[in-house]
Amino acid sequence: MTTVDGLRTRVQREIDAGILPACQIAAAKDGELIFFETFGDATNDNRFVIFSSTKAFTASAIWLLWSEGKIDISARVADLVPSFGANGKDTITVEQALFHIAGFPTAFLNPFDWDDHAKRHEIFASWPLEWEPGSKYSYHALSSSWVQAEIVEVLSGMDFRDFIRERIAQPLGLKRFQLGTALDEQDDVMDLVCTGEAVTQQELREAWGWDDVPTSWLSQELLLFLNDPNVRTVGIPAGGGISTAADIAMFYQGLIAGEIWDPSVVRRASETTITMPDDLGVPTTRCLGIQAKGETDFGWWYGFGKDNSPRAFGHDGAGGQIAWVNPETGLSFCYLTNGLDRNILREKRRTLGIGSRAATLEA
């Protein structure tokens, strides 16, 4: 077992070494926050960009509609969003989109086009089908979540950001999480900073047998676009969330509490899994819209640590963000940082170290 002090020591390491400017951790259990601490050049009053950890909030909106009997995940996306069905995408199901096996992983929508209803449907129609739906797994980094957001709007009659705020964040008492942050509400958000030197080919080859970082990975510099205050106002459903670690830990407590979502839906959504290799060959276990630790030896890659339960579920984020809950112990955990470490080996080792300690935390 790991003590809180042991976890603190591991989290502090990159702060003391000057590798990361700031980070924040929180854990919760039995509906209560156990601890919430911030390290480096920030305080508990600061919030962080959470990148793809946002996907759990967007997926949970689909789960809520499912809980209310408003969606059948086996339905075709095109039956809900007719424009999406063009270019051979008419057979894709909601379930395939949630699993990231739908076949349109690189489709792009400019965030500033979202609020133009006609434009975004024109873009949905223009997206090509890249491979046969269901035939393989490839992380839909941005595309699937835009479709999920559209489905939420179609079925709820609400802006997806309002739906997540009014139907999820507010009932759970999440006061600091936002998806779509107004310009005058961003003073507490930590700007993203690229740090360290890029990993060398020799380091990659010795550690993983790679000759280079895959071109499919976004560069750390590119991720700095979320420093743009106007981008933050959009609320990109795949990665634009702004939050404290405490609110994310408490969000996962809400998911397993059985008060907002039908507990049977949460179980089905988190335990209905597929395990397939990703584009790098890493065995990846996906639930409906999120990740699970699963039975493979690679759950640590996504922040679950070595010894977490296979049933643990959540979603990591670019830059090393960690967010999950273990439904067997009831423990939820979140780690956030504004440091974008150019050394991917060091980032993954940090993810392993922090995730493993959190998974065995005495709480």
Give the percent of the chain with pLDDT over 90. Answer: 88
Residue 134 has pLDDT above 70, yes or no: yes
pLDDT on residue 211: 72
CB atoms within 10 A of CB 282: 13
If you ran DSSP here, which 8-state letter would residue 114 be given? T
Confidence grade of residue 214 (pLDDT, cut at 50, 70, 90): low
Q: How far apart are CA 344 and CA 243, in angstroms?
A: 24
pLDDT on residue 209: 77
Instruction: Provide the whole-model pTM.
Output: 0.96
- Domain annotation for the chain: domains and CATH numbers: 4-359 (3.40.710.10)
Confidence grade of residue 213 (pLDDT, cut at 50, 70, 90): low
295-315 pLDDT, tens digit each: 999 999 899 999 999 999 999
- Pairing state between β 322-326 and 313-314: antiparallel
Burial (CB count <10 Å: 0-12, 13-18, 19+), residue 107: buried
Residue 3 has pLDDT above 90, yes or no: yes
Q: How far apart are CA 274 and CA 183, in angstroms?
A: 40
Residue 102 has pLDDT above 80, yes or no: yes
Q: How far apart are CA 251 and CA 173, in angstroms?
A: 9
Q: Which amino acid is at 139?
A: Y
321-353 pLDDT, tens digit each: 999 999 999 999 999 999 999 998 899 999 999
pLDDT on residue 206: 78
Arithmetic mean of pLDDT over the chain: 95
Bridge partners of 25? 37, 335
* Mean per-residue pLDDT, 156-172: 98
Enter the tokens of residue 171.
Answer: 């009932």
The H or E element spanning position 231 is helix 229-234
257-279 pLDDT, tens digit each: 999 999 999 999 999 999 999 87
